[in-house]
């Protein structure tokens, strides 16, 4: 049932993607998007259209190439969990730790340094292994930020200023815990597309008939079997999430092509509009969390609070993530989760501005943060 639903979704998204690309790359349709080019088209001048196509192609290819390696890392981590984590281990640990299991999952996130491009396959596998929904949400939101690679990149992007990785890491933990506790005890059946399927194998695997080997199995054969199983799960998880990811990249590329980025800089210094604009920008741009800090650092018109709005919200909620979440979660739950992330990020920004500011300033010797 779940496989049929997912197959229909993937077919629909694939056809929609191909259809949109065919339409948008039609020069006469492009003229409707950029009316000033109509006269040039009638005269056989396609330079303006080509410029639009070049921009769209550059964004699409750049986001895809940036994210695909991390998607593969995510599917690899997912496959390793499937092969080496015993079936009852995660639910047993969650039951033993109780509500403390949520912060334990967040603190364990750096052990799997996955950005948001690859975190959904890992979350799917954790759910299938029996990890409770709230614990999985905690990992889903924390892992792309509370991540040594991401925090190192943030430190480098902001000229080795320790404030930025500290504030970003704290923000990731704060929002992940807040949202996870908000959904603590929430029914998996109400949240997942097909909760029953997560108690069954996600993919049809032909069982291996037990047999007694006539000769001892060599280490090479065992390694070959592990490698084959690992490659199988990596391939299946990657193909499962790829259509949703590509459609999200397509939407993000369209918005980056048609929304003038100059508009983002107009209200950079505003106490409320600055962070709000940066949150919208993070949602639209759909950048990988391991590279987004370098773009955020280029927004010199914005202050530290606005930078944190971009750096905390983006890895938890953007266009491509919404599409990828739809392969796992129900639409209503995605809406609730998105609202919770936005509220949680906003509360963190207020807390940082009103409370955390003074303590950090005192810790750094009163040198100021701005």
DSSP per residue, 22-87: HHHT-HHHHHHHSGGGHHHHHTT--HHHHHHHHHHHHHHHHHHHHHHHHHHHHHHHHHHHHHHS-T
Helices 133-142, 101-108: axis angle to 10 degrees equals 30
Task: From 24, 5, 50, select the one nearest 251 (Cα to Cα).
Answer: 24
Q: Is residue 32 part of a domain?
A: no
Q: Residue 273: what pLDDT?
A: 83
Q: Residue 41: what pLDDT?
A: 52
Tokens of 157: 């992007």
What domain count does the chain have?
A: 1
Q: Residue 368: what pLDDT?
A: 45
Rounded Cα–Cα distance for residues 83 and 77 (Å):
10
Please say whether the beta carbons of 186 and 330 come within 8 A.
no
Q: Is residue 370 part of a domain?
A: no
Please say whether the beta carbons of 311 and 168 come within 8 A.
yes
Q: Residue 150: what pLDDT?
A: 84
Q: Residue 33: what pLDDT?
A: 54
Q: Residue 296: what pLDDT?
A: 81
Q: Is residue 43 part of a domain?
A: no
Q: Is residue 40 part of a domain?
A: no
Please say whether the beta carbons of 233 and 84 come within 8 A.
no
What range does the domain containing 277 cover? 2-20+50-199+220-363
Q: Residue 74: what pLDDT?
A: 65
Q: Residue 243: what pLDDT?
A: 72
Residue where the block lists tokens 């001048």: 45
Q: Is residue 210 part of a domain?
A: no
Q: Is residue 206 part of a domain?
A: no
Q: Is residue 205 part of a domain?
A: no
Residues 6+ apart with CB under 8 A from 323: 13, 244, 245, 247, 248, 251
| Averaged pLDDT, groups of 10, the chain, 370 residues long | 52 68 62 53 56 76 74 72 68 80 87 76 85 91 87 85 91 95 90 70 42 54 78 76 71 70 62 86 80 76 88 91 88 95 95 79 54
Q: Residue 142: what pLDDT?
A: 92
Q: Residue 341: what pLDDT?
A: 96
Q: Is residue 37 part of a domain?
A: no
């Amino acid at each position: 049932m779940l496989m049929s639903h997912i197959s229909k979704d993937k077919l629909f998204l694939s056809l929609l993607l191909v259809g949109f690309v065919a339409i948008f790359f039609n020069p006469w349709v492009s003229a409707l998007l950029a009316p000033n080019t109509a006269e040039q088209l009638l005269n056989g001048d396609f330079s303006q259209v080509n410029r639009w196509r070049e921009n769209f192609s550059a964004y699409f290819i750049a986001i895809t190439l940036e994210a695909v390696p991390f998607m593969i890392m995510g599917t690899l981590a997912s496959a390793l969990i499937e092969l080496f984590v015993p079936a009852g281990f995660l639910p047993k640990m969650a039951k033993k730790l109780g509500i403390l299991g949520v912060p334990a999952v967040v603190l364990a996130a750096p052990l799997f340094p996955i950005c948001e491009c690859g975190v959904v396959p890992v979350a799917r596998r954790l759910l299938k292994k029996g990890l409770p929904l709230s614990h999985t949400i905690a990992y889903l939101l924390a892992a792309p930020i509370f991540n040594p690679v991401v925090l190192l990149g943030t430190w480098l992007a902001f000229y080795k200023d320790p404030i930025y990785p500290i504030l970003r890491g704290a923000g990731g933990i704060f929002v992940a815990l807040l949202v996870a506790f908000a959904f603590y005890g929430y029914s998996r059946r109400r949240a997942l597309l097909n909760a029953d399927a997560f108690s069954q194998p996600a993919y049809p695997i032909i069982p291996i008939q037990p047999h007694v080997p006539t000769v001892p199995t060599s280490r090479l054969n065992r390694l070959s079997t592990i490698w084959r199983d690992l490659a199988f799960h990596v391939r299946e998880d990657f193909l499962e999430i790829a259509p949703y990811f590509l459609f999200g990249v397509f939407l993000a590329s369209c918005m980056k092509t048609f929304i003038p980025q100059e508009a983002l800089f107009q209200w950079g210094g505003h106490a409320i509009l600055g962070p709000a604009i940066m949150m919208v920008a993070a949602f639209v741009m759909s950048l990988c969390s391991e590279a987004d800090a370098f773009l955020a650092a280029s927004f010199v018109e914005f202050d530290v609070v606005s930078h944190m709005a971009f750096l905390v919200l983006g890895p938890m909620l953007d266009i491509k993530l919404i599409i990828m979440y739809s392969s796992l979660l129900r639409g209503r739950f995605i809406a609730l989760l998105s609202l919770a992330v936005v509220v949680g990020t906003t509360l963190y920004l207020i807390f940082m501005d009103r409370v955390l500011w003074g303590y950090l300033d005192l810790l750094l010797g009163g040198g100021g943060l701005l």
